[in-house]
Structure 1
Amino acid sequence: MLRQEDVGQRVVVRRIVGIRAGRPLFSDLLGELAELSESHLTLVTTQGRTEVPRAEIHRARRVPPSRRPTAAAVAALEHAADEAWPAPTRARLGGWLLRSADGWTGRANSALPVGDPDRPLPAAIDAVQRWYADLGRPALINTPLPLAAPVSAELDARGWSGGRPTLVQTAPLAALPPARPTVAGAPPVELTTTPSADWLAVAANRKGDLSAAARHVLTAVPQIRFAQVRVDGRLVAVGRGTVTGAGRWLGLSLIEVAPEDRRRGLARQVVHALAAWGAAVGATNAFLQVEQGNAEAVPLYRALGFTTHHTYRTRTAPAG
């Protein structure tokens, strides 16, 4: 049976779809595992999103992806993502990164165990815990999988809890489907180098109050654009784009549309505007990070050509 570590990976599920002459009838589904719960699993296939109750599953297993990223490719993308979401307080543990931003978001307040920590793995995890304890913060470690599988196994043995997997998805900018024709009267996407006050208010509503450290995370990237769409002066959609990784990667984050304005194609407009800017300054590929259970965002990004490069989980040290 599948496990949480398989979320975001390519899987095949044999499903019981009926009974004939006393024998079960089976149907196979091949796709990307988007969600795994105690009651069901959710697959994203070429036909769309499908929920399969566990009671109907005869067999399920992970299958090799059509193209598995190398360890070097995962590491390079993780470092590009770190540049795109820069924590103001940082340290190194050999090749590992230690990051803190006054508790604002897990990504900016977690260790990134990519590379050699220059000491045995148990000692490295002990050092991570001491570093965060000195800051008065809980120890968090982001584990890109399968690259950091040994770290994840050690954390399991120590009783660290783990959040739901996050999908790290990528797409070549040249392969994005063309933007839909602009409807007469559709609001334009404005790109700015600094966020407006109401843009920041949207970010705060989604991620938590914005301290000085949070504003650093949001703005301290040399190549950055903030997207906003307004209707009659009201902010209805936002997004953030960064170019990092030696100029190769366009990072997309905080794509948000006001609830009453959804299903109008505004998120697509924001993504295309940021993609056009990224391509203009030399980026060739885009990446984003999306929670595997985000039922609205995952299908949107899939329709735009994004596929899962790898996954990560944010692990938290046990209290005490």
Structure 2
Amino acid sequence: MLRQQDVGHRIVVRRIVGIREGRPLFTDALGELVELSETHITLATAQGRLRVPVGEVHRAKRVPAARRPTAGAVVALELAADEAWPAPVTGRLGDWRLRSADGWTGRANSALPVGDPDRPLPAALDAVERWYADHGQPAMVNTPLPLAAPVGAELDARGWGARPPVLVQTVALTALPPAPTGRADLPPIELTTTPSDDWLAVAAGRKGGLPDAARHVLTAVERIRFAQVHAAGRLVAVGRGTVTGQGRWLGLTLIEVLPEARRQGLAGRVIRSLVGWGVAEGASHAFLQVEQRNTPAVALYRGLGFTTHHTYLTRVAPA
């Protein structure tokens, strides 16, 4: 049967659709698993979104992706994402990255185990635990899947926990669908090179505070833009774009619309504005990271053409 680690991957579901002469009738559905709960399996198929009650599932399993990214492609994207979300305190363990930002966000406070740690895996994880202990933080490891599956297996044996699965999604910038015909009265999108105080306040509200380390994470990228939308004198939508990975990748983070301004297409307009800037900077693809359980955001990004490149789990050491 399926597990949470399968979210974001291609699956096939054999579903019971009826009974004929005492025998069950089946139909198969193939698509990307977008949500797995105790009651339903939800997948995105070529015909649209399909939600299958667990009681109707005869069999469900993961199948090879039609075009699975190579290990090198996963490493390159993870390094571009690391460059786009830079921790102020870093270390190296062979090729592995060690990152600390006063506990602000899992991405900036976890080891990134891509490449060769220059020692056996158990010794590498021992060194990760010591590095974070020396920095007064709980050890965390960000495991891109399926690339870091051996690391995940070793962490399982050590009793490490896991945060909810995250989908790393991508789209070719030329493949974005055209913007829908919008309302003429919608406020304009402003792009700046530094975040305003109001912008930072929205980020603080979403991430639970804004220590000095957070300001480094948000701003210490050479090519960067902050999007903001004001309505009635108040900031109602924000976004952040970076160009990293040798200029190939536009990273989209902190796409946020305040509750009173939602359902007006502002998130899509913020993204398209940042995409326009990214194209001008020479980027060819965009990426973002979204928790698989955030179904409204996943649906928004799917409508813009994003598909899951790979997934990751943030693993947390036992207390």
* TM-score scaled by length of structure 1: 0.97
Is 1:129 aligned to residue 129 of structure 2?
yes
Is 1:216 aligned to residue 216 of structure 2?
yes
* 1:1-320 mapped onto 2 (5 Å cutoff): 1-319=1-319
What letter is aligned with 2:263? R
Post-superposition offset of 1:196: 1.1
What letter is aligned with 2:200? L
What letter is aligned with 2:154? E
Work out whether residues 87 and 99 of structure 1, in 8 Å CA contact, stay in contact via their aligned partners in 2.
Answer: yes
Post-superposition offset of 1:270: 0.5
Post-superposition offset of 1:42: 1.7
Deviations 1:116-165 (A, max 9, x none): 00000000000000000011100000000011011011011111111121
Post-superposition offset of 1:228: 0.8
What letter is aligned with 1:19? I
CA distance in 2, matches of 1:182, 1:296: 20
CA distance in 2, matches of 1:230, 1:21: 64
Where structure 1 has 5 or more consecutive residues not aligned to the other structure, the ranges are none
What secondary structure, in the 3-state scheme, does the structure 1 residue paired with 2:216 have?
helix
Percent identity between matched residues is: 74
What secondary structure, in the 3-state scheme, does the structure 2 residue paired with 1:241 have?
strand
CA distance in 2, matches of 1:240, 1:255: 7
Post-superposition offset of 1:45: 2.1
Work out whether residues 168 and 311 of structure 1, in 8 Å CA contact, stay in contact via their aligned partners in 2.
Answer: yes
CA distance in 1, matches of 2:84, 2:47: 33
Post-superposition offset of 1:18: 2.3
What secondary structure, in the 3-state scheme, does the structure 1 residue paired with 2:295 have?
coil
CA distance in 2, matches of 1:18, 1:268: 41
Give the aligned length.
319
Query: What is the alpha-carbon root mean square deviation over aligned residues?
Result: 1.1
* TM-score scaled by length of structure 2: 0.98
